């Protein structure tokens, strides 16, 4: 037990309060209101809730500030009132505690409630760790100004977020003790996959004064988690469960755990070593009153001893060298000019045409087949399925395009583990096109992470770890590709994102279709300081309409000179021939700048794609050998297709 916790609370059991939101909802506050803002507009209402919990026997009450951070308040246009809302929340709770002290003997404490930001942090999300720490610091400043006695960092779903919250608290208010609580799934693991033992070890190392678990699926899960926490830390423990899982009753979510049931588990928490016991969602003053009686009945004056065993954190398993992971990885490592052609999965279950196309391309010497993942948010056979069939039937290596659109982080990890187990070793990490662009615009998108976060996940799997830091037994051994779009209007943002992808673990890149070499050259210059091998995307146009679609609908940079050439082709055959010629010119000119080419096969014309490469491949191979700037660097353009077009959200 830390000295300041012993000085503040002694060694006896401390009863905390229950849910604020549940009580407010029961009093008629609509769920679409910003509950934190009520500290400013209805302070008497918040004060009355605190009073009820204190009268029920709670000795620690949490401020009404769980969501009072700039990210969550932004949804209500209140992001500029973070300090005021937190300060007011602390002052309201302080007034309630002081009035209790005036009326009766005994003492109560005010805990400043800090919940998660509600956004994904790097490496899985777009919010930087420094941004998260700054947001938490802003909240802590308000709570400190309002006079809290300690800080409660609760409902932690990702340990990297907890670390930033603890760092912010120590920077702004080092004098305030910190209670940090994780929330877990039915298997007692954090929602980022970390085990309770790992969470306890890390929270202890980061400087928490009390560790515990709250929210989750109810008292039984919390008890199991508490027992695991107890084995990994010597710090005081806390347990504050939901009143079970909510059930829909007459259109409302009702928590069905009775006060008696919660009281029974309060005794079990005590025996498991908890010093701080309270409730979370669904708990009311009635639950707290029953828990108070139960704890008094067992004379809870001293906390049970719990383990101090040192938990060893899982070590990484580095992946094999890139040249040992896949054929493409070996070619990239050797500096060979790589050739790829994109084959889009069929809309049904028959992939005979695609397999025949792969066989044709393999016979022409193409190194690998790129397989998009439901391009343009269309409903097609899974890319993973087609990749497996191509590799098993044709024997040519594939590169699986993998997007974040349709999968949460659990499904992403499951898919990638399965892909590696089945022999797919090349992954192109993409964000993916939003459903509104596809056949089913009302379909729900997931986007738990974007391409940067996905690259981080693949990199962690390559090092034998899931996103929670747990061992998966061995490296997945993927060769990691990412996308690049040199022709976007906001090139500064594209370069910045590309740098993040490289930092996350990208080993080569694939570009969007190139029609303007000046744009490609300018992009390559911008990324010189963090350059990885680049493969240029080439698209053989089939008609003037196709060229106009690329330029106007897909926002690909197609110069007017290209449009004029396609316009002058008087027949469909001449148009296709001109498109091939343009593609060959682009490829020949790009050879000195890149280490490979990805050619799309418009509308399933695989022979057309092979034709683009056929006449220039020997020159490409010679150039790759002779050009020292190419050797050892290979860029592959990552894209999604539209009717066979390699274009999408990277």
Residue 375: per-residue pLDDT:
77
Average pLDDT over residues 278-290: 93
**What's the whole-model pTM score?**
0.70
Could you tell me the CA-to-CA distances from 147 to 86, 281, 302, 452 in Å, in that order? 10, 25, 28, 40
pLDDT value at 625 more than 90? no
Are 143 and 218 in a shared domain?
A: yes
Query: 567 in a domain, yes or no?
Result: no
pLDDT value at 487 more than 90? no
For residue range 104-120, list pLDDT tens digits in order: 556 899 999 999 999 98
Could you tell me the CA-to-CA distances from 14 to 5, 57, 269 in Å, in that order? 11, 10, 12
- Provide the sign of the torsion angle of the four alpha carbons 222, 223, 228, 234, taken in this order: positive
How far apart, in whole angstroms, are the C-alpha atoms of residue 592 and residue 536? 11
Query: 550 in a domain, yes or no?
Result: no
Structure-model confidence comparison of residues 456 and 614, the more confident one: 456
Domain endpoint, select from 239, 262, 297:
297
Structure-model confidence comparison of residues 153 and 249, the more confident one: 153
Domain of 218, CATH number, reads 3.20.20.330
Residue 632: per-residue pLDDT:
32
Domain of 376, CATH number, reads 3.20.20.220
pLDDT confidence band for 641 (50 / 70 / 90): very low
Are 330 and 292 in a shared domain?
A: no
Are 258 and 346 in a shared domain?
A: no
pLDDT confidence band for 626 (50 / 70 / 90): very low
Are 141 and 196 in a shared domain?
A: yes
Query: 228 in a domain, yes or no?
Result: yes
Query: 365 in a domain, yes or no?
Result: yes
Are 368 and 448 in a shared domain?
A: yes
Would you list which residues are annotated within the binding site for Zn(2+)?
A: 215, 280-281
How far apart, in whole angstroms, are the C-alpha atoms of residue 516 and residue 558? 7
Are 157 and 284 in a shared domain?
A: yes
Q: Cα 81 vs. chain centroid, distance in angstroms?
A: 28
Q: Is 317 exposed, middle or buried (0-12, 13-18, 19+ CB in 10 A)?
A: middle
Q: Which of 142-146, 432-436, 446-450 has the highest mean pLDDT?
A: 142-146
Domain endpoint, select from 245, 262, 297:
297
Are 337 and 451 in a shared domain?
A: yes
pLDDT value at 601 more than 90? no
Are 192 and 116 in a shared domain?
A: yes
Tally the domains of the chain: 2
Would you list which residues are annotated within the binding site?
A: 215, 280-281
- Nearest to 181, CA basis, from 146, 141, 217, 153: 153
Average pLDDT over residues 307-335: 82
pLDDT value at 303 more than 50? no
Are 393 and 453 in a shared domain?
A: yes
Are 162 and 214 in a shared domain?
A: yes
Query: 571 in a domain, yes or no?
Result: no
Are 287 and 342 in a shared domain?
A: no
Q: Where in the sequence is the domain holding 595, given as residue range(s)?
A: 323-542+586-626
Query: 640 in a domain, yes or no?
Result: no
Are 368 and 224 in a shared domain?
A: no
Query: 636 in a domain, yes or no?
Result: no
Question: Percentage of residues in the chain with pLDDT exceeding 70?
Answer: 88
Residue 11: per-residue pLDDT:
86
Query: 556 in a domain, yes or no?
Result: no
């Amino acid at each position: 037990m830390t000295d300041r916790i012993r000085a503040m609370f002694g060694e006896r059991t401390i009863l905390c309060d229950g849910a604020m939101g549940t009580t407010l909802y029961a009093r008629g506050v609509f769920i679409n209101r910003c509950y934190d803002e009520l500290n400013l507009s209805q302070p008497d209402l918040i004060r009355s809730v605190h009073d009820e919990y204190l009268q029920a026997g709670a000795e620690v009450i949490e401020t009404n500030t769980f969501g009072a951070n700039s990210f969550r308040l932004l949804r209500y246009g209140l992001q500029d009132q973070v300090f005021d809302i937190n300060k007011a929340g602390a002052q309201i709770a302080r007034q309630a505690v002081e009035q209790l002290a005036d009326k009766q003997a005994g003492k109560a404490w005010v805990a400043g409630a800090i919940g998660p930001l509600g956004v994904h942090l790097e490496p899985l999300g777009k919010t930087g760790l420094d941004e998260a720490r700054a947001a938490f610091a802003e909240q802590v400043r308000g709570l400190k100004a309002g006079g809290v006695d300690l800080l409660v960092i609760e409902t932690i779903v990702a340990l990297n977020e907890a670390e930033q919250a603890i760092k912010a608290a120590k920077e702004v208010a080092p004098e305030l003790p910190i209670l940090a609580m994780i929330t877990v799934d039915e298997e007692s693991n954090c929602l980022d996959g970390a085990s309770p033992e790992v969470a306890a070890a890390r929270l202890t190392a980061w400087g928490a004064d009390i560790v515990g678990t709250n929210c989750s699926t109810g008292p039984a899960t919390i008890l199991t988690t508490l027992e695991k926490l107890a084995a990994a830390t010597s710090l005081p423990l806390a347990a504050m469960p939901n009143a079970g899982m909510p059930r829909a009753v007459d259109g409302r979510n009702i928590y069905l755990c009775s006060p008696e049931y919660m009281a029974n588990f309060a005794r079990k928490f005590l025996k498991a070593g908890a010093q701080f016991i309270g409730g979370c969602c669904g708990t009311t003053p009635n639950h707290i009153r029953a828990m108070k009686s139960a704890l008094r009945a067992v004379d809870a004056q001293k906390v049970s001893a719990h383990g101090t065993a040192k938990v060893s954190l899982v070590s990484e398993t580095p992946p094999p060298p890139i040249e040992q992971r896949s054929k493409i990885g070996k070619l990239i490592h050797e500096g060979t000019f790589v050739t790829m052609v994109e084959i889009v999965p069929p809309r049904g279950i028959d992939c005979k045409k695609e397999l025949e196309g792969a066989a044709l391309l393999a016979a022409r010497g193409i190194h690998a087949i790129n397989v998009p993942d439901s391009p343009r948010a269309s409903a097609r056979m899974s890319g993973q399925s087609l990749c497996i069939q191509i590799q098993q039937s044709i024997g040519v290596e594939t590169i699986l395009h993998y997007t974040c659109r349709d999968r949460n982080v659990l499904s992403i990890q499951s898919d990638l583990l399965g892909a590696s187990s089945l022999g797919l070793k090349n992954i192109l990490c993409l964000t993916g096109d939003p459903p509104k662009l596809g056949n089913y615009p009302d379909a729900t998108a997931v986007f738990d992470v974007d391409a940067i976060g996905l690259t981080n996940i693949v990199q962690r799997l390559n090092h034998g770890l899931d996103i929670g830091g747990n061992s998966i037994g061995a490296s997945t051994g993927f060769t990691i590709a990412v996308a690049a779009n040199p022709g976007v209007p906001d090139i500064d943002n594209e370069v910045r994102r590309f740098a993040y992808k490289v930092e996350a673990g990208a080993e080569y890149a694939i570009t969007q279709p190139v029609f303007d070499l000046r744009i490609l050259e300018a992009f390559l210059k911008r990324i010189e300081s963090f350059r990885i091998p680049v493969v240029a995307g080439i698209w053989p146009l089939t008609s003037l309409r196709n060229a106009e679609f690329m330029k106007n609908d897909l926002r690909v940079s197609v110069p007017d000179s290209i449009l004029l050439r396609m316009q002058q082709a008087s027949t469909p055959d001449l148009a296709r021939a001109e498109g091939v010629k343009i593609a060959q010119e682009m490829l020949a000119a790009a050879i000195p700048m890149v280490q490979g080419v990805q050619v799309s096969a418009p509308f399933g014309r695989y022979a057309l794609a092979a034709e683009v490469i056929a006449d220039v491949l020997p020159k490409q191979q010679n150039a790759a050998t002779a050009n020292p700037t190419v050797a050892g660097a290979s860029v592959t353009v990552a894209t999604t297709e539209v009717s066979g077009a390699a274009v999408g959200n990277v």
